[in-house]
Structure 1
Amino acid sequence: MENLVATLTNTQFLIAVLAAVAAAAVVFSIGATFFSGGSQMRQRIKRVALEREKMRAEEMARLRGSAGGADQPRSIRQAAGRDYMKNVVERFSLEKAFMDENTAEKLSRAGYRGQAAMTTYLFLRFATPVVLFVLTFTYFSFAIFSDKPLWLNAVYALGIGLLGAYLPNLLLKNQTVKRQQSIKRSWPDALDLVLLCVEAGMSVEHALKRVAKEIGAQSIALSEELTLTTAELAFLEDRTRAYENLGRRTGLDNVKSVMQALIQAERHGTSVGSALRVMAEEGREARMMEAEKKAASLPPKLTVPLIVFFLPVLFIVILSPAMIRVFSNSFINGGG
């Protein structure tokens, strides 16, 4: 037992284990990128299709006068939620503790929809601090701070556990930012394609459906949102709700402005093509201004690396021959 503890607390052994875990993580990440990259698009489209089927079922139930009834079919995403997570959430009333009116909207902006995603999020908010506390306390007690009192290790572990309570929110925010950046980069091109389709005689629904297929190679997130909007336009009673939902799900100002223009065109009967043309021009101008802003901010950002890394090397290259000659002459004169 003493040999096992000594081995586990050996610094070289811990370094070797961490290096092995890091190497395995790198290999797994690279392999997952190669093997699952091609199926990511199909998985996203499959999830959107499930949401569309759920919306179709809800609309048919509403038309029959039994919307929200007990016989309403459950979606596959809801059925895929793990039972033990659901039991923990219900037993400890985690919805009252961690859920508010904006939680579902935050999850949808990150691309997570359905009750299964909500259950997983609430479970992680509850389980992450507990797991981090147990792991940290065990590691501190037997490895790093084995000579310290247990209550001190418990205090350290409690602090790390409290920090871990914010880890699910941090990961959710990171995923939201990545998704919004993907949509923001592809939105001007998608808007131009929608304008071309509408001017060619297509309706807004068919234009969005066609653009969702074409833009998928550039942004899977935007393709998913446009496909879901197409389904909402087909099944929702009020078409303006579909536009508002797209702006709310993305959380981007440029998308919301285009949706407001489409809503005004729907309400007042104005030309959709004219509204899209104006918004497309504004989108191109905004993207050009953003590119010019990034180009203008490049020289100040390069000042510090230039001073720290480039100028010292330049001085060394310029002054080295002169210094070598001076030292050589001094050595010759001193020797003479």
Structure 2
Amino acid sequence: MSGLLDIHTLFALVTAVAVIASILSVALPLLEKNELSGRMKQVAIEREKIRARERAKLAQNIGGKSERISLRQEPKALVMQIVDRFNMRDAFADKATRNRLKQAGFRSEAHLMTFTFARIAGPIAGLLLALFYLFFLAKLDQPPFMKIFMAFCFAYACYYAPILYLKNLSDKRKQSINRAWPDALDLFLICVESGMTAELGFQKVASEIGSSSVELAEELTLLTAELSYLQERKIAYENLSDRTGLEGVRGVMTSLIQAERYGTPLGDAIRVMADENRTARMSAAEKKAAALPPKLTVPMILFFLPAIFVVVLGPAALSFFAK
């Protein structure tokens, strides 16, 4: 015990932790994978699904049956089979849940089934594991009622764990899209003023904005696909608003819908919305900067000031006690 409290041992441990943290801070950015190619591949699959679905609807509307969907039906996964077997498909499959999944980047039916299965099976598995641990493994001096209560609390946490995970992914995705959205509007304005159509403009912006935000490039590519295949362009713009969940994107899409409905110049509407989004981004940055000093007060008192006192008063204290 005295060896662990030795000043040299503590200094060595702190130095080792600092070295490991420094190595990880340098190595982790180098180990990050480029997700652009994988995301674009998923977008291409989603684009083919949109094309096949719209072709099937068109064939049904005209009364023909010769048009077939070109996509092969994949076999159902185990999770989807369990969900269908116990009729759990409509348990959490409302519109709000689907929009929440889309905002987190999950669009397929398999993602919805996995989320439903996790919210139903997760609490049951968590309750059983907690009961087994509390009654057979953990040696707690607690009455059985208290152990059961703790197990139900853990099951309740397992019930909300998928929601928290989904919210975390959605917030990160919104932050990435919101950061690159004003730049994307500037690029789209240049494309529109050069004579491009909306589809070509969004396609060009998606190819250029991928280095800044992979999520925004993915959404704009899906928007281009929906503008090409959907019967009403308004639906494509509204779908982008629902997938992102951002007021800035929703305002731009509303302006595009009104511009196409009333025949107003598209470049003027985009220029105004680009200025508004850039002003909103600057206001958000200023708000974070203004909130920084109060947040730094406690870390400065706990960490910075003691270190300054040690550096300034340390030599004087050592010379005083040496005498």
Residue 131 of structure 1 is aligned with which of 102, 106, 125?
125
1:152 and 1:312, CA in 2 relative to 1: closer, same or farther beyond 3 A? closer
Contact kept in structure 1, 2:43 and 2:221, CA below 8 Å: yes
> Is 1:93 aligned to residue 93 of structure 2?
no
More displaced stretch, 62-71 vs 235-244 = 62-71
Q: Which has the larger radius of gyration?
A: 1
> Is 1:294 aligned to residue 301 of structure 2?
no
| Cα shift readout 1:165-198 (whole Å, capped 9, x = no counterpart) | 1111111111111111111111111111111111
* Secondary structure in 2 matching 1:97: coil
Alpha-carbon distance in 2 for matches of 1:69, 1:171:
45
Contact kept in structure 1, 2:206 and 2:220, CA below 8 Å: yes
| Counterpart in the other structure of 1:273 | 267
1:94 and 1:136, CA in 2 relative to 1: closer, same or farther beyond 3 A? same
1:272 and 1:304, CA in 2 relative to 1: closer, same or farther beyond 3 A? same
> Is 1:156 aligned to residue 150 of structure 2?
yes
| Cα shift readout 1:94-134 (whole Å, capped 9, x = no counterpart) | 23433323121111111111211111111111111122223
Alpha-carbon distance in 1 for matches of 2:305, 2:146:
49
| Cα shift readout 1:37-92 (whole Å, capped 9, x = no counterpart) | 13x3222112211111111112222222359999964856x72641x322321232
| Counterpart in the other structure of 1:48 | 43
| Counterpart in the other structure of 1:306 | 300
Partner amino acid, structure 1, of 2:260 = E
Note the C-alpha offset of 1:222. 0.7
| Cα shift readout 1:276-301 (whole Å, capped 9, x = no counterpart) | 11111112222222222222222222
1:207 and 1:326, CA in 2 relative to 1: closer, same or farther beyond 3 A? same
Matches within 5 A, 1:197-276: 197-276=191-270
Tell me how many residue pairs correspond in the alignment: 296
Matches within 5 A, 1:167-182: 167-182=161-176
Alpha-carbon distance in 1 for matches of 2:242, 2:82:
30
1:322 and 1:68, CA in 2 relative to 1: closer, same or farther beyond 3 A? farther
Alpha-carbon distance in 1 for matches of 2:213, 2:166:
19
Higher helix proportion: 1
Partner amino acid, structure 2, of 1:217 = S
| Counterpart in the other structure of 1:37 | 33
Moved over 4 A (4+): 66-72, 146-155, 315-328
1:323 and 1:155, CA in 2 relative to 1: closer, same or farther beyond 3 A? closer
Contact kept in structure 1, 2:52 and 2:71, CA below 8 Å: no
For structure 1, the residue ranges without an aligned partner over 5 or more in a row are: 1-26, 332-336
More displaced stretch, 116-125 vs 156-165 = 156-165
TM-score computed with the length of structure 2 as normaliser: 0.81
> Is 1:141 aligned to residue 145 of structure 2?
no
Contact kept in structure 2, 1:188 and 1:284, CA below 8 Å: yes
Alpha-carbon distance in 2 for matches of 1:241, 1:129:
37
Note the C-alpha offset of 1:326. 6.8
Q: Percent identity?
A: 47
Alpha-carbon distance in 1 for matches of 2:141, 2:224:
63
Contact kept in structure 2, 1:59 and 1:67, CA below 8 Å: no
Alpha-carbon distance in 2 for matches of 1:170, 1:186:
25
| Counterpart in the other structure of 1:61 | 56
| Cα shift readout 1:187-240 (whole Å, capped 9, x = no counterpart) | 111111111111111111101001111111221111111001001111111111
RMSD: 3.0
Alpha-carbon distance in 1 for matches of 2:62, 2:108:
17
* Secondary structure in 2 matching 1:270: coil
Contact kept in structure 2, 1:194 and 1:211, CA below 8 Å: yes
For structure 2, the residue ranges without an aligned partner over 5 or more in a row are: 1-23
Alpha-carbon distance in 2 for matches of 1:279, 1:163:
42
